[in-house]
Amino acid sequence: MTESKRALVVGLAKSGIPAVKALNKMGYAVDLNDLKAEEAFIEILPTLKGCYRETLFGQHPGEVSGYQLILVSPGVPMDLPFVKDAEKAGVEIIGELELGYRLAKGKFYAITGTNGKTTTTALTGEIFKAAGRHTLVAGNIGQSVVDAAEASTEETHWITEVSSFQLESIHSFHPKISAILNVTSDHLNRHKTMGNYIDAKCRIFDNASSGDIIILNADNPETLALKERAAGTGARTILFSRLREVEDGLYCDPNSGALVVKNAENGVREVITHKSEIFIPGSHNLENALAASAIAYFAGISKEVIQSVLKSFQGVEHRIEFVAQIDDVLYYNDSKGTNPDASIKAVEAMTRPTVLIAGGMDKGSTFDELIQAFDGRIVKLVVLGETAPLIEATAGRLGFNAVERVNNMEEAVRSAASSAPAGGAVLLSPACASWDMYENFEKRGEHFKRCVNELR
C-alpha cells in the first residue's frame, strides 16, 4: 500500500463500514473520521482491523488536500468548509452510492421521492424476483450497494432506493430506469431551499441518455414540472397517475378503477389489474403500485407477474405496519413517516377514530397541513421530541386542542392507549426525523412496537 493513494471516509454510519473495507481492498490507505467520540465505535473498530490507517473522532478534519478520494456518508452536508476545501484542491468527493455503482455489475433501476420510496422499491424488487430475474434490492433500504456489490453479475437487476443526500455525491451513477415519485417540502434544514432539494432529486437522471427511461408522477405538480427537464436528457419520459389518463405510461382509469398501460411507442393499451386487487391499502399505495408497475412493465416484465405480486405484497415494516389489536383498538407503526406529507397519507388511510403520536427532530417543516388533514379522523394528538412545542402550538392555532405533550415513547403509548375509543386506533406517524431521540426511524418503530406489546 503506498502513501500516494489515500482516502478519507467521513461518517461511520451503516454504509460507511463496508465502504472502508471496499476502499482498503482497492488499495487505498484509509483514514476514518466521525463527529462522534471514539467510544461510540468500540464495537465497530475491531471489525475494521487492518482496513484503516488513522482515525479522527469528535471533530471535522482540517487539512484534506493530501487525499485522492473522500467518501462522505449521506448525513454529511456537502457545504461543510472541509468539503469545499477538498473540492478546491481537486480531491474527488463521492458517496457510498457512487462507490457501489463503480464496484457493481448489472443494470440499475433507481427510485427517489419525498415519500413512498421504500414501499415502491420493495414492491419493485418483489416483482423482479417473481419474474425470475437475479435481483438485488439495496441503497437507502436494507443493505448498501457497496455491501452487496460482490454478489452481482452482469445479469443482476439492481432495484435501488436513493435519497437526495445520496444523490448529492454521485458522478457516474446511471440507472437504466429512474423514477421520481413526488417532491414535497422536506430536509430543508439540509438543502436550505426547495429549489436545491429538487435539484438534488433531479440528479437521479443526470447521466440519462437515449435508450433510458425516466418515470414521473403526473399527480404531483412539482414532479410533473420536471418533464421538460427530464426530456432534455434524451431519455424517454413516461408518466403515472392515479387520477387521470396519460398518453404514455401507466394510470388508474378514473371510471373503471383498472390499472392501464398506454405505450405510445407501439400503440399498445392493456389492463394490468384492478385497484381493488392491490393488497396494500391507501391512495398513496396506489401511487406506489403504479410506479412499481411502470418500472417493471417498461423493463419487460409481463403483466401477469406484476398482477400476481400486487395481489400478495403486504407492504414494508414501519410504513402503516399493523402491530397489534388490544381491547378492540388497532395499533399501527408508521415510523417511516418522517415528514408531514408522509404522515398526512397515513392519517388519510385510517378508517377508525384514531389517536396520533407525532413529533421528533425539527427538519424545518411546518405542520399546518397535517393538522388540517385530521378532518375528524384524529380524536387526540400525543406529541413528543424536539418538535412537540411547535406541533402543539400549530394544533392550538388551528382549533385542535385535544393535545398532550409527553417525554418519551413509553408515556406516548400509555397515553394513546388510555385515550383511544373502543373500536378506534393508535397510529405512530411522527411527521419528523428520529435523530433527536433515536439512531434511525427503524429503532423508533421497534421501540413503539415493544411499548405496544407491553400493554398486553
Binding residues for ATP: 113-119
Strand order in the sheet with 29-34: 55-57, 29-34, 6-10, 69-72, 92-95
Q: Please name which of 111, 128, 109, 106 lies closest in space to residue 301, comparing C-alpha atoms.
A: 128
**Ramachandran sector of residue 211 (left: φ over 0; alpha: ψ -120 to 50; beta: rest):** left
CA gap 85, 153 in Å, rounded: 37
Q: Specify the residue for cell string 452510492.
A: 97
**256-287: buried (b, 16+ CB within 10 Å) or exposed (e) per residue?**
eebbbbbeeeeeeeeebbebebbebebebbbb
The annotated binding site is made up of 113-119
Are 358 and 380 a contacting pair, CB within 8 Å? Answer: no
CA–CA distances in Å: residue 343 to residues 28, 109, 373: 43, 27, 9
**117-154: buried (b, 16+ CB within 10 Å) or exposed (e) per residue?**
bbbbbbbbbbbbbbbebebbbbbbbbbbbbbbbeebee
CA atoms 363, 369, 372, 378: torsion sign: negative
Return phi, psi of residue 413, to 5°: -70, -40
